[in-house]
A and B are shown apart, each in its own frame.
Chain A
Amino acid sequence: MTESTTTRVSDAADYFTLGDAIADTKAPHDVSVPQMWEERKAHANLVNPANRRKIKVIMVGTGLAGASAAATLGEAGYHVESFCYQDSPRRAHSIAAQGGINAAKNYRNDGDSVYRLFYDTVKGGDFRSRESNSWRLAEVSASIIDQCVAQGVPFAREYGGLLDNRSFGGVQVSRTFYARGQTGQQLLIGAYQALERQVAAGTVTTHTRHEMLELVVVDGVAKGIIVRDMVTGEIETHLGDAVVLATGGYGNVYFLSTNAMGCNVTAAWRAHRKGAYMGNPCYTQIHPTCIPVSGENQSKLTLMSESLRNDGRIWVPKKKEDCAKDPRDIPEEDRDYYLERIYPAFGNLVPRDIASRQAKYMCDDGRGVGPEVDGVRRGVYLDFADAIDRLGLEAVKTKYGNLFDMYKQITAENPYELPMRVYPAVHYVMGGLWVDYDLESNVSGLFVAGEANFSDQGANRLGASALMQGLADGYFVLPYTIANYLAHPAERIDESHPAVVEAKQAVEERINHFLTVNGTRSVDSYHKELGHLMWEYCGMERSKEGLTHAIESIRELKADFWKNVKVLGTADTLNQSLERAGRVADFLELGELMCIDALNRRESAGGHFRAESQTPDGEAERIDEEFAYVAAWEWGGEDGHTPVLHQEALSYEAIEMKARSYK
């Protein structure tokens, strides 16, 4: 391997082909970053109100981004067809977000501004997000709060009746709006109600228990989708003037994650296979405060809101022999409040990637707590004893009561008496389908919103920013940018078009295959094995050796899956094994690409930590001269073909690119 920095051969050289560089062509680069959004809106094409009802938008996903976009487009008068795999739009996994939503309102008069929120987002994202997008996100954040309050979202308030704020990891201002520990739920219910209002108004039609299984593309233009009615098994075609994917993240590639059981990559992956680029797939966020794994049969991990780090203190015993002790018997001087020790400026409020990695190091060092799973204690204490002394039991109950109850329900331990045990878990993916400033992918007419796009979050997302991005995209960005596209939509096709016939046939063949393999292993067993590989080798810390091993193992697993999976039942009924088989098939392909992306990116940035790239004191070392780009991967084809890497260079004018430090 050559070591000259500019021409160093990628660690993943054997696994991909380098394609042409790409660039975002939609952001108006003739104005400065703060002016871009105004400029874009000012010159975007508009659609006459009378014409809108003739224009059909296909909206996949009903989380914060999908529901808010569908509602807003419906209000504007477009004809929207909305799809979700859940039994109701209200169940999308945005509902599980606990902590809050950021907005540059500066209600606390503590120096917040659009610039500060932008700065924190880009810095938090370790200078791997697109500057123009992150600025816009900060810019529209304040309007989101206005909109949600008008819808009746019951945000926390102060006694004076005004909105309350709290602070969150990675920032030094108090800009997070919240509804106890259920902010995501309240925001989603707001968007869901707005959506259902449009259903009643006749502008939006919802298709619940429908799963998108294919994208219809003709000459590089998205024309519609193929879906399966999950109750009757019917394969349906829906064609429209634009397709929006707001299908969330793919954290379930790790099997155990804080995602819902049904969260999947299929919609995005099908689009990827039809030509849409996948941006930075290896950027995964590991959330530091989840309830540790307790056993073999565990199906999911539960997150404890990051807001707990506001008042809770994280520690492990200084001495390994104390790890099995009752934590209340460990004296103060024998406790290591390691985040406060290593990062005195931010203490327990360091960004998620740092908090997660440090927890891993403590446990790897043999100082983890809780039960031993596979010979290692994987947990650190999150202690509220000081907070209860300082604020009183009642105040702590008011602020965190529901989270404490949840912890108790799951672990049967009382967190008011014993410190909670937490450990990092996969929570969110910053990677996703590549989009330009208009949220349009490289496939014309295919828009991607929310967590499903490669996002404004860079290599790491700050707490309380996912809700902000979902709603920013859905309420305030997409409705403008998609109108620009819809003003001159491409020609529609009908169901007899060869592209539709072929897509439908492909879906049916795949389903038939799963049902006729008659193998010996269940879908879940493959999913678990894949998840284990991903967590081990493409999790908190990644290395060349591990990733190479993972790629080879995933390939073997994939080959075995297609030959040996066992799916019972028929295609024409509600068949949950069949649904899962399709999702796991796509996860297997995605997992491989994630490892290739991680292997290529031989730097540590945000949620992506390469063992080969760290400073002498063990902090992440970013390599800007080599990796200041978005990795946009093009599908290479079936086995034997390698994916093609397109690089979008990142440059910064409104912010100076510098090493991220929270010390």
Chain B
Amino acid sequence: MTCVATPTLVKGSRSTRSTIALKILMAVTGLVFIGYVLLHMYGNLKVFAGQEAFDEYAHHLRTFGEPMLPYGGLLWVIRAVLLLSVIGHAYSAFALWSRASKARTHKYVMMKAVTATLSSRMMRWGGVALLLFVVFHLLHLTTHTINVNGDPGSPYERLVSSFQPGQWWVAVIYLLAMLALAMHLRHGVFSVSQTLGYSNNARSRARANFAGVFLAVVIAGGFALVPLSILFGIVD
């Protein structure tokens, strides 16, 4: 006698071991990034206040919290949080990615996307692109390993010299990255709301969608202003 149905039911299930827990990890770390890029973008805009203000701002970031914190302490705290977030975000992304590819090994001959936005379909590769950009960005403006230009003592000079028309490709890399960031944020912000359970009706879902577009435009746009302004000589 064969019993076909009910081979197994999961025993001792835990919320923390679920795919949704992975998604929550991704959403929370994503929120950290959203907060960080918002502040980072705000700080970057100081460049429009001139060299002194910008360098002062950069210096202040390092002395922030003294004497409770050592010189540069806050930055290291932020870096640590960001590093952990990157690990968490990437881990959950790759774990979910691998689950998804295992969930359908036999692909369709024909498959149409009906409502999916481009940004929602670009999350994974866009995320990888952003990760590579962050590495480039750190090597460029934090560790000064590549494309060394200007006085290392003045962040303003380093910045402005990096985006001169003579090496337009640096600006292009940054601008492309901002496009990727915009797309990642457009879907990411909505996704955070979905995953954390804040868009469980039509109105809140519409709000979450709007927030995604809004933050994408504000943050990526704000960042992009700097290289664009330098490229076109508005800031020099």
Cα–Cα, bound, A199→B5 (Å):
9
| Contact-size category for A | 10 to 19
Give per-residue flags for A225-239: 1 if the beta carbon is below 8 A from chain B beta carbons, else 0.
000010100101110
Contact A206 B6 (CB under 8 A): yes
* CB of A289 closer than 8 Å to a CB of B: no
CB distance from A80 to the nearest CB of B (A): 13
Nearest chain A residue, comparing its CB with the CB of B9: A200
Nearest chain B residue, comparing its CB with the CB of A199: B6
Total number of B residues with any Cβ neighbor in A under 8 Å? 7
Name the contact of B4 in the complex, choosing from A200, A229, A237 (C-beta under 8 A).
Answer: A229
Contact A207 B6 (CB under 8 A): no
Contact B6 A229 (CB under 8 A): no
CB distance from B24 to the nearest CB of A (A): 27
* CB of A604 closer than 8 Å to a CB of B: no
Contact A238 B1 (CB under 8 A): yes
Give per-residue flags for A208-247: 1 if the beta carbon is below 8 A from chain B beta carbons, else 0.
1110000000000000000001010010111000000000
Total number of residue pairs linking A and B with CB closer than 8 Å: 24
Name the contact of B6 in the complex, choosing from A205, A210, A236, A238 (C-beta under 8 A).
Answer: A205
* CB of B16 closer than 8 Å to a CB of A: no
Nearest chain A residue, comparing its CB with the CB of B5: A206
Cα–Cα, bound, A496→B3 (Å):
20
A229 — which chain B residues lie within 8 A by C-beta? Answer: 2, 4
B3 — which chain A residues lie within 8 A by C-beta? Answer: 205, 207
A208 — which chain B residues lie within 8 A by C-beta? Answer: 4-5
Contact A236 B5 (CB under 8 A): no
Cα–Cα, bound, A445→B4 (Å):
26
Give per-residue flags for B2-42: 1 if the beta carbon is below 8 A from chain A beta carbons, else 0.
11111001000000000000000000000000000000000
B9 — which chain A residues lie within 8 A by C-beta? Answer: 200
B2 — which chain A residues lie within 8 A by C-beta? Answer: 229, 234, 236
Cα–Cα, bound, A208→B2 (Å):
12
B4 — which chain A residues lie within 8 A by C-beta? Answer: 207-210, 229, 231
CB distance from B12 to the nearest CB of A (A): 14
Cα–Cα, bound, A155→B2 (Å):
38
A234 — which chain B residues lie within 8 A by C-beta? Answer: 2
Give per-residue flags for B149-182: 1 if the beta carbon is below 8 A from chain A beta carbons, else 0.
0000000000000000000000000000000000
Chain A, 352-377, CB within 8 A of any chain B CB:
none
B1 — which chain A residues lie within 8 A by C-beta? Answer: 236-238
Jot down 10 A-B pairs with beta carbons below 8 A, ordered by A: A199-B5, A200-B9, A205-B6, A207-B3, A207-B5, A208-B5, A209-B4, A229-B4, A231-B4, A234-B2
**B contact set with A: CB distance below 8 Å:** 1-6, 9
**A contact set with B: CB distance below 8 Å:** 199-200, 205-210, 229, 231, 234, 236-238
Nearest 9 interchain pairs by C-beta: A206-B5, A205-B3, A199-B6, A200-B9, A208-B5, A207-B4, A236-B1, A208-B4, A207-B5
